[in-house]
Structure formats: C-alpha cells, structure tokens
Structure 1
Amino acid sequence: MANEPQVRMSLRTRLRTLYEGQTDAADRFRYGLLAFDLLTIAFLITTSFIARSTHTETIDAVIGVIYLADVAARLWISPRPLRDLVHPYGLADIAVVVSLLAPLYGEGLAFLRVLRLYRTLHSPQTLRQLRQDWPFFRANEGTVRAAINLVIFVFLMTALVYELQSPVNPKIATYLDALYFTVTTLSTTGFGDVTLTGETGKLLAVIIMIFGISLFLRLIQVMLRPSKVDHKCPTCGLRRHDHDAVHCKACGTILNIEDDGAV
C-alpha cells in the first residue's frame, strides 16, 4: 500500500512522456493516435453507405472505449484537468464518446470525431514531430497547414450535412451525397441538383460558403506568397524569414536557420 502513490505517479509520468515527450516511443505513440483518428473517420464514411448492424455498433463501441481511455489519460496528466474538460476540444471529445457508447442519444454527434483530427494535427508536439521527420512539411509548413485546415473543414461540414440531413432529406442518402453538396457549395458552383431542406439546411449552406471560401482563399494566399520559415530572431523576435536569410530583415541580427542543403 505504501508504494501505491509511487506506482500511480510513475504511470502518470510514463503517460505524460508518451503524450508530450520527445522520445522515439512518444513519436510512435502520437503517430499511432493520428493513424487511429484517420481510421475512425474512414470507418464513419464507409458505414454511411451501408445499413447499420450489430457489427458496426460493436466497432463503434470499441472506438468509444478507446476514445474514453484517451480522454481520461489526457485529463489525468493535465495540470489543469477541469479547464481542459470544459475547453471546446474537451467538450467535443466527450460528445464523441457519448455518440459512440450511447448512439441512441448521441448518434448525430458522430461527425465531431473529425475535430479530434484537427486537434491532433495542430498540437505543438505533433507539429514539432512533423517538422523533424518530414523535410517537405518543414519547407512548406504554411501551405500544408492551410491545405489541412481546408480538408478538415470539408470533411467536418460534409459529416455535419450528412448527420443532420440524411434522416430528413432524400437527396442526402450517403456521405458521398453530402460531400458532393459541400464541395459544390464551397466552390460556388451550385449545380442545384442537391439542396438542403429546412432552416438548418440553409444555415449550413451559408456557413460552408462563408468559412469554406475564406479557407480556400487563405490556401491560395499562402501558396502564392514567397516561401518563409518559422525561425524566431533572438533579438527582435521576428518569427518568419526567407528560408535562405542570413540576417534578420528587421534588426540585422545574424540568424542560424537550419537547412538541409537541398536546392
């Protein structure tokens, strides 16, 4: 009994290392979480084309248990668990767990699992890991992140359209129908063969057009502007510089920007 607090603290330390550390095991663990989030989204899309059965509900329950364990672990290692619990990401995690473990009451919230992917891809640990492991990401981080934001938005709105419209709209029968509507609306093509019904449908279409076009223009802006790297100047704090800069353009301080030597 005397060793129980030490064992509990040791387990908490190991979990914190996996979630926030810089070891090889931590890198593999975070890549595993990212892969699992991608698989659950793929499963959500796939099951939209088939009738729900006992097997799909069982898989949803297993995913829900894994998500519940992940949420519990994050809260346990957090220095401020209550703040993290009421954070939008924390509330979204709880909603996803409820939608998977109690589908009769929360099935319509299944689309929120896409937000887990956003959180994973934007965590400081994952970004640091991607910069270290992928030279392409390091050289084109702004473009890649803008593209990821747009793709996640498309999948989030597609899932939201499907979850809210498929029960009441015969034109949204599968996830592909919802994806088709989302892309045509975001691109302002608007063929008109698939439309949303009700006030909620109109509101969704407005949100897709306003935020989707903004994210798309942001991606174009990042792609067309000169290539920059994130490297904070030790003197004036300017964060973005040309990838081949030797001196800070703001104060003239000599920089030491890491470079792989590739042209």
Structure 2
Amino acid sequence: MSVEKIYTIPVNEAYESDCECPLCALKKKVENDYLEYYLGPSLMEPDTRVVTNKTGFCPEHMGKLNLKEANRLGLGLMLHTHLKDYNDEITPLINNAAPGKATLLKGRNTDYKAKLTAIADKIDARTKSCPICEKVNYTLDRYAEVIVYLFAKDPAFKEKLSAHYHCLPHLALLLRTAAAKMSQNDAADFLPLIAKTNEDAFKALIDDVEWFTLKFDYRNTDKPWGTAKNSIQRSMRFLSEDRSEFDEKRSGKQN
C-alpha cells in the first residue's frame, strides 16, 4: 500500500524524477525557494531584518542572491544595516585589543594576542552564519527522515530508492538518519540496497573517468566517447553534491 502524506510528496516526486541524486534535487528546490523568500517582501519584515542584520549570508548564498538580480533595493537595504551592525561590533573590539607599546617600566604584555584571536574567531563565525544554510539544512534533515519513514512503511518506495544513487555528502546524511531513526530489521534491508546503488555509481564513474583519460591518447581519438564525456562533472557532483560549478554543457551529441 502506498503511503502518501503532504510531507512525503516532495520526496516521492524527487525519487520519481530523472536525476542523479534525489537529495541534491530536493536541496536545489528548497534552496531556490529560500533565495526567493529572502529577496521577497520578507526582507523588509522586522523579524527577518533582525536576523539578517546580525548574520548576513554566507559567501555562497551571498553570491547566489547577487546572481538572482531581483529586489536590488531590498538587498541593498539589508546589506546597509548588516554592514553597520558588523562595524559597530568589530571595530571597537579591534581598537580595544590594541596593546600599549612595551617600555622599560611596563614590559611586554601578550594579552592582546588572545583578544585578536577571539576577534578573528568572531569574524569567522559571522562569515559562516547564514539563515538560508540553517533553513536548507533543517529541511534536508526532515527529508532524510521522510526517506527512512517511507522505506519502512511504503513497499513501492523501495523500488524508487533502488533506481537512484546518492552523492557522498547526502549518503552520509542518510546513514546518520538511519542510525538515529531506523529499526534494526529495516536497516538490514536498507543498507544493502544503498550500498548496491552507490557501488554501481562508483564503478560506472571509475570506468568512465578512465576512458575519459584514455581518449587523450591519439590512438583513441576516433573511438566513441560513450558515457565518459561528462564524467569529470558527474564525478564532482557525486563526490561533492550538485553545484552550479559542476554543470556541463549538455548536448545529445557524442563524438
């Protein structure tokens, strides 16, 4: 019997689609939704501005917001208040950490070193903080729980799961979720299936990347590419999640 609830619909749709890693497809959709959300009217809401004033966005999502080229006014207003908040916190800390110069009477004072390290840590933490990352990661964690739930409750989902491999970062997410949420009997069925789909992906990529390298030999110039032509980008997506930097120009034409 199929188990269909509102929270299972996106997961089922991802596993029914023609994609490499369904969790990458889910992440891309969720991430785009939150990019649109933060570029929409929410950017002017007081509760949202309190958060973005303090956190801003991580470098990756700052770049993606910029590429959207939408609501430039809202983005500018957010950056204006974020810069002010950042300056108000960091600049006084740096000034206060400056030591007095060593003299014969005062000698050396190394307290400033710990202060400077603390300020650097604070800057690193603020650079990494990002409400989009938090929301995307939270949603993906819930999707992983839905996958485990569907595997246990919906026999039809097992067939969908067996048709896809998962990139290694999302494989790790599934394994952690299985450890936390899955019964021993379900894990006994789940893990061999996951291992098989990913082993098949490893083998296919290993063969394709090898043929990609062999095509540089002049003796293989006129031989067909097969499925190796985009194997570099596919391998990058498999190892590191699906990212725009790993997209290849797809054409149905193979040499």
Query: TM-score normalized by structure 1?
Result: 0.26
**TM-score in terms of structure 2 length:** 0.27
Larger-Rg structure: 2
RCO (CA 8 Å, sep 6+): is it higher in 1 or 2?
A: 2
